[in-house]
Structure 1
């Protein structure tokens, strides 16, 4: 099975203490496992896509404008990957199997070429990580399901600012989207 690791919105604005729309400690706590996953995939020469929210200052036409404070604004440090992942990405961004992808909606598929990128590479299994479990990870998983991808979510690599929403989304992934949700004591290893 050809697979891809998708790192969704793991940026300063969504994770750092002073982030514009931060999930704070829950997001910060997944950094070691998330970095470990990214490093293993990069070293194993498997595709890693960083799907990163992109907004423009004072864009009153974007639907999130009325829902959330400005976040992940183009050209700001808020769009940089959180913690050690930014440096790791910079060190490996020239590799063919490491990709940065801007997105402007919750789902990494909405208005992007992600589906085309995956299909060109024969990828049929997506490992979703990042934040927020019950918003961007969830909407990406729903689109992946509708497009026929197998989905894997590791609890150690997703987080949200809403614990109830986080838990609900984990159940929804497994019970409604047929995703494999690996628990904290399991490892999502290569089959």
Structure 2
């Protein structure tokens, strides 16, 4: 059992790099130093660290809603260099918004039993919010630092923070 866990959501080239297929804007770039500091703090504390990695097939149905992005095995689906995972940290490829859908996230969290889960990454109103909803449905105490999440849509970002706090009971810092 560990005291805490950090889930880093989709800090990938296609979202964070301005050359990425679905660049989430300067707001996404701006959270990188904060996310890096939180990652280092969790590593020093011996926390469970999990990276969620959007990794779509070439013909994923999500491309009917969004431009083609984060195709498995491409540069775009790789975690940005500033946040390279360490040995022993979990990297979970995912094909949908929630980090729980079709992944081992639930099993890993159950095996380590963290008392608190912190969530950082992009996009606040999509993959972050859906993953936090999954944590709420599994009764995890969750923190979402507002300095550690970003969205390409400012209004959706604000709404998602409010929803995660009010509906899912996440502590927004």
Q: TM-score, normalised by structure 1?
A: 0.86
Q: Are the structure 2 counterparts of residues 2 and 44 from structure 1 closer, same or farther at C-alpha, using a change threshold of 3 Å?
A: closer
Number of the residue aligned with 1:188: none
Number of the residue aligned with 1:158: 149
Residues 1:169 and 2:160 aligned together: yes
The 5 Å alignment of 1:90-169 reads 92=86, 94=87, 96=88, 98-169=89-160
Kindly state the Cα deviation for residue 83 of structure 1 after the two structures are TM-superposed: 4.4
User: What is the aligned residue count?
Assistant: 172
Kindly state the Cα deviation for residue 126 of structure 1 after the two structures are TM-superposed: 1.5
Residues 1:55 and 2:56 aligned together: yes
Residues 1:69 and 2:70 aligned together: no
Task: Tell me the alpha carbon deviations over residues 132-180 of structure 1, each in whole angstroms, 9 at most, x when there is no partner.
Answer: 0000001101111111111100011000000000000011111111110
Contact 1:118 1:124 in 2 (8 A): no
Structure 2, unaligned runs of 5 or more? none
Number of the residue aligned with 2:170: 179
Residues 1:46 and 2:47 aligned together: yes
CA distance in 2 between partners of 1:122 and 1:176 (Å): 23
Bigger Rg over Cα:
1
CA distance in 1 between partners of 2:112 and 2:154 (Å): 35
Q: TM-score, normalised by structure 2?
A: 0.95
Contact 2:48 2:112 in 1 (8 A): no
Number of the residue aligned with 2:24: 23
Helix, strand or coil for the counterpart of 2:66?
Answer: coil
